């Protein structure tokens, strides 16, 4: 059975075995707000593949690069900001490309009125 990337399906014991770390380490990451697993109705932690990938990044930063948990928090926040900006840039590039291909300004962005032989475009 294949699960979605964000679907919370892994118990803490499974995640700790997959990543070869103690469950207490996962609880510490949660206390530090570095990872926020979902909870079942019985309050059991359930991790998604996205959570596991995030924990792998945390482990790489701490083990291989020697970053402490406060530094990891800053790095993860910056990474989220950069990812958001990259998404926004991609959307803006798509809009610019679409506008260039249509050779017009969307109706909600401009008001076109005719005055003599010239067209006047007023942007909001």
Which range, of 1-10, 86-95, 102-111, 115-124, averages the lowest pLDDT?
A: 115-124
CB 16 within 8 A of CB 40: no
The CA-based dihedral angle spanning residues 91, 93, 94, 98, taken in that order and rounded to the nearest 10 degrees: 140
- What is the C-alpha to C-alpha distance for residues 55 and 30, in angstroms, rounded to an integer? 10
Q: Is residue 3 part of a domain?
A: no
How sure is the predictor about 102, in pLDDT bands with cuts at 50, 70 and 90? confident
Q: Is residue 4 situated within a structural domain? A: no
Q: Which of 1, 103, 15, 90 is nearest to 51 (CA)?
A: 15
Identify the CATH number of the domain in which residue 71 sits. Answer: 1.10.1660.10
Matching residue, tokens 């401009």: 110
d(CA 19, CA 10): 12
Q: Indicate yes or no: pTM above 0.75.
A: no
The number of domains in the chain is 1
pLDDT of residue 2 exceeding 70 = yes
Q: 112 phi and psi, to 5 degrees?
A: -110, 125
Q: Is residue 108 part of a domain?
A: yes
Least confidently predicted of 5-9, 60-64, 86-90, 106-110? 106-110
b/e for 56-77, b at 16 or more Cβ within 10 A?
Answer: ebbbebbeeeebebeebeeebe
The residue range of the domain holding 79 is: 10-123
In this structure, what is the dihedral angle of CA atoms 69, 42, 9, 85, given to the nearest 10 degrees? Answer: -50
Residue 14 DSSP SS3: helix
Is residue 101 in some structural domain? yes
The length of the chain is 124
């Amino acid at each position: 059975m294949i699960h979605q990337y964000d679907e919370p399906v892994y118990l803490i014991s499974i995640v700790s075995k997959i990543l070869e770390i103690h469950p207490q380490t996962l609880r510490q990451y949660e206390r530090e707000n570095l990872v926020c697993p979902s909870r079942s109705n019985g309050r059991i932690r359930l991790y998604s593949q996205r959570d596991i990938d995030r924990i792998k990044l945390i482990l790489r930063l701490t083990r291989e690069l020697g970053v402490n948990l406060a530094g990891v928090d800053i790095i993860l926040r910056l990474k989220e900001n950069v990812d958001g900006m990259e998404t926004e840039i991609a959307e803006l590039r798509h809009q610019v490309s679409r506008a260039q291909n249509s050779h017009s300004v969307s109706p909600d962005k401009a008001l076109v009125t005719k005055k003599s032989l010239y067209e006047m475009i007023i942007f909001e």
